A = this chain, B = another copy of it.
């Protein structure tokens, strides 16, 4: 069996951590009888600084031939925040319609959580983040004079009328941002969450702020309620996003599957990452079940550690396990996760987790372990 996987190391520590992950996945393939055919893509800050290119038409063309992308990280101190994130990472998520952002929040054995009195059995849930809509659609404007002038004027009018103001000069600068949720966009991801809960502990929590942002999240709730009706065995609940940050910290054991619009998903999965031991341990999958999906650690490129072989590769290796799962290699995926746990138990971890290993050493160790564990 052969699997084709696209590899984007990206910036900073990205290339080092995907190299570690690649070694582990190849080793898993040896044991479970598959081969990964890797194709490296040179996408990231360096190319952008040299050529001005972010994600090109050609990149998209080429990447669309792969069922999965293994992604390191992007971000560079020489580039203004937002350019690479929007031009590459979000561009891939949107172009390939990766509408499911799957983020397991699981405290592995041997990992320290900053929460008092919580054990691995208390922290084991999955966040399903909608990944193509909401405030991430990138519609907004500032000043006037762009192609979005018409909208800007309307927004300004609405704002002035609503608050009896008269904002119009440049000194009274105004910016707006629009979030959009569509019924089909909400439905497909909520349905995915229910299907997932069906294979787990049968509970789905919706996270929104429908008491204030009633238009978008009112629609979200209605869709949720409609989908829930088709799953009578699944327990459901609504949480407001502000409250859910409290319960993640106080009672993470309450959660099984959490489904949420894009922006709140961004926020609560970082919090989730922290309670499971930090960003060094938080993987994510950007999934289009019928297209090209992408697997990545959810942390950034940590430019200052670049080339030092010190970054923690566990989130990336775990993302590799999700990638294998996505390709149907379920046994191999499970073995990778077991190997990660074994490596933690045996103290083969990087500095940030209290160990003394290098990035590449952790990769090599887990690649060994995955053959037998």
Q: Are B81 and A210 in contact (CB under 8 A)?
A: yes
A249-B216 contact in complex given A82-B211, A242-B269, C-beta closer than 8 Å: no
Q: Are B177 and A182 in contact (CB under 8 A)?
A: no
- Which residues in B have their C-beta under 8 angstroms from that of A137? 159, 162-163
- Which residues in B have their C-beta under 8 angstroms from that of A294? none
Q: Are A142 and B176 in contact (CB under 8 A)?
A: no
Q: Does A180 have its Cβ within 8 Å of any Cβ on chain B? A: yes
Q: Does A49 have its Cβ within 8 Å of any Cβ on chain B? A: no
Per-residue contact bits, chain A 69-91, to B (CB 8 Å; 1 contact, 0 not): 00000000000011001100010
Q: Which residue of B lies closest to A179 (CB)?
A: B177
| A90–B209 CA distance with the chains assembled, in angstroms | 14
Q: Are B151 and A158 in contact (CB under 8 A)?
A: yes
Q: A135 CB to closest chain B CB, in angstroms?
A: 6
Q: A175 is contacted by which of B163, B218, B275 (Cβ under 8 Å)?
A: B218
Copies of this protein, total: 2
Q: Which parts of A135-161 form the interface with B (CB within 8 Å)?
A: 135-142, 148, 150-151, 154-155, 158-159
Among A82, A115, A179, A215, chain B packs the most CB atoms within 10 A around the CB of: A215
- Which residues in B have their C-beta under 8 angstroms from that of A214? 82, 86, 140
28 A–B contacts, CB within 8 A, in A order? A82-B212, A82-B214, A86-B211, A114-B115, A114-B249, A135-B179, A139-B155, A140-B215, A141-B215, A142-B219, A151-B154, A155-B178, A171-B183, A172-B183, A172-B184, A174-B181, A175-B215, A175-B218, A176-B179, A176-B181, A178-B178, A178-B179, A213-B263, A242-B267, A242-B269, A245-B271, A245-B274, A271-B271
